[in-house]
Amino acid sequence: MTQMTKEESGLWVEGRPNGGNIPHCLRLSVNAGYLLDDIDCDNRYLTICEQD
């Protein structure tokens, strides 16, 4: 199986993730069409939960 790069995945905001190996958190960016964006874990955002 060939591994995709972050660019090929189509899931990340352009230029992300860009935090290297430091701990970072993930959010969906509404302004970028709900693509993934890496952010500092000290920020607070609403969470997404699944309920049965």
| 43 confidence band (pLDDT: 50, 70, 90) | confident
Asked if residue 50 belongs to a domain, the reply is no
Mean pLDDT of all residues in the chain?
82
Helix/strand/coil percentages in the chain, nearest 5 = 15, 20, 65
**Total number of domains in the chain:** 1
Q: What is the pTM of this model?
A: 0.61
Q: In this predicted structure, what is the pLDDT of residue 4?
A: 73
Asked if residue 26 belongs to a domain, the reply is yes
Asked if residue 49 belongs to a domain, the reply is no
Asked if residue 51 belongs to a domain, the reply is no
| 39 confidence band (pLDDT: 50, 70, 90) | confident
Q: Which residues contact 22 (CB under 8 A, 6 or more apart)?
A: none
